[in-house]
C-alpha cells in the first residue's frame, strides 16, 4: 500500500469509528508508544538486543566492584537514589520491573505509612536516546577517525577494551579525533584525583580541531575543583540543537547535559 492509499484507509477507518469514541482514538494515536516498532531501524534493534543480552547476565544494580566510590556517593545523595543503568533499562523495562515488584520508583518516607516520595534514579551509562543523539546529531562522519570513550564501562559508546587508568594513556588521547567523557570522574574519584585527571586530560587532548564531548559541561565538571585549566584557550564550545526529536516524551533535560567542544 503506498502513502496516498494508506492515508485514505486511515481516514476511512476514522470515519467508521463511533463519533463518541473518535476523540479518544485520536488522542491514543497521538500519544501511544505502540507505533514505535514501526519507526525503529535496524540499528535500534541491534542496540536493544545488546542491552537485552547484557541485562540478562548482569545484576539489577549493574555496579562493578571497582565502583565502590560511586556507590558511596550514591548513598550521600540528598534524596534516596538508586543506580539504574539507562542503557540496559529503558522506561518500559522499568515499568515492567515495577509491576513485577522487582523495582520501585518510590520510597516510603514514614515507615509503614502510605506516604511515598519519588526515588532518585542515576545512570552511569548513556541511554539509547543519548547515544543516538551523539552519533546522529553531534558527531561528524567518523570514517578513519580515532574515537576514545574515556571510562567505557559496559561499552555502550564504544565496544573496545583497553583496561587502564586514562592518566596513563597520554598518546592515545593525543591521537584521538574524538574524545567522549560521560561523567567520568565526578562519581568515581575523590576531588584531588579528579583535579589531577582533568589536568592530565587538558594537557593531552590537544589535537587541533579534534572534538571533546562531555557530560556535564566542562564548566560544571571543573567548577568545584582547583585546576589551572584555562577553558578559553583550550576549547571552543559548539552549540547543539537539542530539539531534534519531535516526540513530546523525550528527555530533553538529559540531552541538554551533552556538550561538544572543538580543541583550539
Ligand atoms: C559514568 S561511566 C560512563 C560509561 C560509558 N562511557 C557510558 O557513557 O555509557 C564512567 C566510567 O569512567 C570510569 N573511570 C573513572 N575514572 C577513570 C580513569 N581515571 N580512567 C579510566 N576510567 C575511569 C568509571 O569507572 C566508570 O566506569
Q: Is the shortest distance between the CB of 182 and ligand 1 below 6 Å?
A: yes
What is the rounded distance in angstroms from the CA atom of residue 212 to the CA atom of residue 163? Answer: 21
Which among 188, 199, 204, 214 is the best mutation to test ligand 1's pocket, defined by most ligand atoms within 8 Å of the CB?
A: 188
Reported as half-sphere exposure (CB side, CA atoms, 13 A), residue 160 has a value of 6
pLDDT exceeds cutoff 90 at 246: no
- Residues of the chain with pLDDT > 70, as a percent, come to 97
For atom 10 of ligand 1, which residue has the closest CA? 184
Average pLDDT estimate for 5-12: 94
pLDDT in tens, 52-105: 999 999 999 898 888 889 989 988 888 888 899 999 999 889 989 988 888 888
Ligand 1 centroid – CA 167 distance (Å)? 12
Which residue, 158, 116, 168, 104, is CA-closest to 134? 158
Residue 167 Cα: closest atom of ligand 1: 19
- Residue 109 has a pLDDT of 76
- Residues of the chain with pLDDT > 90, as a percent, come to 65
Q: Is the shortest distance between the CB of 124 and ligand 1 below 6 Å?
A: yes
Span of 11-25, 64-78, 176-190, 217-231 with lowest mean pLDDT: 64-78
pLDDT exceeds cutoff 80 at 175: yes
Cα distances from 142 to residues 106, 146, 179, 180, in angstroms, run 42, 8, 12, 13
- Residue 112 has a pLDDT of 60
Q: Where does 58-190 have alpha helices with state H?
A: 68-75, 91-99, 128-133, 170-175
Cell of 155: 561499552
Sketch out the chain's domains with CATH numbers.
39-122 (no CATH), 128-263 (3.40.50)
pLDDT in tens, 203-239: 999 999 999 999 999 999 999 999 999 999 999 999 9
Ligand 1 centroid – CA 166 distance (Å)? 9
Q: Is the shortest distance between the CB of 127 and ligand 1 below 6 Å?
A: no
Sign of CA dihedral 136, 137, 140, 144: negative
Q: Is the shortest distance between the CB of 189 and ligand 1 below 6 Å?
A: yes
| Verdict on whether the full-model pTM lies above 0.85 | no
Average model confidence (pLDDT) across the chain: 91
What is the rounded distance in angstroms from the CA atom of residue 86 to the CA atom of residue 90? Answer: 6
Residue 67 Cα: closest atom of ligand 1: 25
Amino acid at each position: 500500500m503506498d502513502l496516498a492509499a494508506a492515508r485514505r484507509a486511515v481516514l476511512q477507518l476514522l470515519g467508521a469509528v463511533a463519533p463518541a469514541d473518535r476523540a479518544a482514538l485520536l488522542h491514543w494515536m497521538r500519544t501511544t508508544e505502540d507505533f514505535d516498532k514501526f519507526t525503529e531501524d535496524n540499528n535500534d534493534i541491534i542496540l536493544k538486543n545488546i542491552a537485552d543480552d547484557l541485562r540478562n547476565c548482569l545484576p539489577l544494580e549493574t555496579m562493578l566492584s571497582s565502583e565502590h566510590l560511586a556507590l558511596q556517593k550514591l548513598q550521600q545523595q540528598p534524596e534516596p537514589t538508586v543506580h539504574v543503568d539507562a542503557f540496559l533499562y529503558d522506561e518500559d523495562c522499568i515499568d515492567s520491573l515495577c509491576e513485577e515488584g522487582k523495582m520501585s520508583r518510590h520510597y516510603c518516607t514514614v515507615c509503614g505509612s502510605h506516604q511515598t516520595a519519588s526515588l532518585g534514579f542515576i545512570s552511569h551509562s548513556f541511554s539509547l536516546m543519548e547515544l543516538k543523539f551523539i552519533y546522529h546529531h553531534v558527531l561528524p562522519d567518523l570514517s578513519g577517525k580515532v574515537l576514545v570513550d574515556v571510562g567505557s564501562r559496559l561499552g555502550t559508546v564504544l565496544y573496545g577494551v583497553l583496561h587502564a587508568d586514562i592518566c596513563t594513556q597520554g598518546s592515545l588521547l593525543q591521537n584521538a579525533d574524538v574524545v567522549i567523557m560521560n561523567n567520568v570522574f565526578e562519581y568515581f574519584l575523590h576531588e584531588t584525583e579528579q583535579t589531577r585527571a582533568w589536568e592530565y586530560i587538558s594537557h593531552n587532548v590537544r589535537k587541533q580541531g579534534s572534538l571533546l564531548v562531555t557530560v556535564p559541561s566542562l564548566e560544571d565538571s571543573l567548577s568545584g575543583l582547583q585546576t589551572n585549566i584555562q577553558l578559553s584557550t583550550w576549547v571552543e564550545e559548539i552549540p547543539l540543537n537539542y530539539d531534534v526529536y519531535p516526540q513530546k516524551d523525550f528527555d530533553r533535560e538529559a540531552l541538554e547535559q551533552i556538550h561538544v567542544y572543538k580543541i583550539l
